[in-house]
Amino acid sequence: MNFTIGKNGDGDDDLVHKLLNKDIKKKLCNSLVKSCERILKEVPTEDHNYEHWDVYVAGLSLLFMRIHERDPGFMIGTRSALVIADEFINSALSTYRAKHKMTSAKKQNECGFICSAVGLYAVAAEVKNHMGDKESSHNYLELIQSQFSHSCFSPNTPSELFYGRAGFLYTQKFISSLIDPSKEIPTSSLIKSVFDAIIEDGILNAAITSSNFTSNYYNTEKEQQIPLFWSFFDKPYVGAAHGFAGILTTLLQFPENCREYYKRVKETVDFILFNCRSPNGNWPSNLNKGENDLIQFCHGAPGICLLACKAYEYYKEEKYLKLAMETANYVYSQGYGHKGTGLCHGISGNAYVFLSVYLLTKDLQYFQWALEYAEVCTQWEERTLNKEFRLPDRPWSLWEGLGGAVW
């Protein structure tokens, strides 16, 4: 691991080494290896019968791909992490092709990164590129752009991250380093078109929405019309998975495109961050609800904190950093959770809040909190047996299960 350390950015590596000492490193590394072995035992790479090829098998391919990037020499038995990633993605592709025959109706509204074939093919393109199979990698990239981009412009497609346009926009960033400039694969023009479609969807919904969303749990005494408005299955979700936080965080990763809609995007960011906080310190799961007790990436304060971090990086205003720090403090005090170790609604997803704020502030307190959460992840089995953690629906996956702890 390589970190830039020091509370005020002074680069004092000794401080983090005192926190991440040899004993802790050994414990975390041993736990990582054991967790990988357990995942491979429970989810054999050669099994093509998994229903959830997207969030499950393709996610595990991405996990082992990242392990390979961090440590190319990492081995489980006789197999490298890269080989395991390739086996998982081959299994996911075979399962998808067999069980999900692509029809025009199927592809019409399918374009998200997490819960559609777009993410599957994006991971496949990256894995095949690392395997040296440039032709297959290119074919998967071309498939994403040619077969799924039209879904972004269907009126029935949502703008959220998991299933919708924001997920497709994120995919463009994910695959950007893989695209050969000499190949005729559209990128910048497609990014602009999808970005514009998300904004237009937000403007249209804001115009037809009658409610101004003023209630006693919002931090405002005046009615305020939100400039951009999105919903998923008719619910105006706030969090990172299906709501404003995920969409806005994605938009802010494309600064050139944001400039054209600077005022609308910024006012919407500010509305969500500063006008929608509940008295209990959390954010509602959707704008039609009151207080929310969910404190996880998908719903609640963790996803909001990540938006505040990205807003600070883009707008350079201290109010965003201050809110990010406040929210991280809240997550630490309240966000321990009981839903296991997954990234989406488990403790490892919440730990990313601390790492994100640490990278902006270099305040070692946040790094310490991330280590504490990581140590809890090493105790997942005991805590599950004691019913302190619930058993997730997909207990070995990246988004819901043990894979999240490894990530």
Binding-site residues for Zn(2+): 298, 344-345
How far apart (Å, rounded) are the C-alpha atoms in residues 111 and 124? 16
Instruction: Quickly tell me which residue has 């979700």 as its tokens.
Output: 237
How far apart (Å, rounded) are the C-alpha atoms in residues 72 and 325? 35
**3-class SS letters over 2-45:** CCCCCCCCCCCHHHHHHHCCHHHHHHHHHHHHHHHHHHHHHCCC
How far apart (Å, rounded) are the C-alpha atoms in residues 334 and 330? 6
Q: Annotated binding site: which residue ranges?
A: 298, 344-345
**3-class SS letters over 166-225:** HHHHHHHHHHHHHCCCCCCCCCHHHHHHHHHHHHHHHHHHHHHCCCCCCCCCCCCCCCCC
71 with 2: CB under 8 angstroms? no
Burial 236-266 (b: 16+ CB within 10 A, else e): bbbbbbbbbbbbbbbbbbbeebbeebeebbb
Q: How many degrees, rounded to 5, is the angle at CA 215 between CA 214 and CA 220? A: 65
Cα–Cα nearest to 64, from 47, 78, 81: 81
From the CA atom positions of the chain, what is the Rg in Å?
21
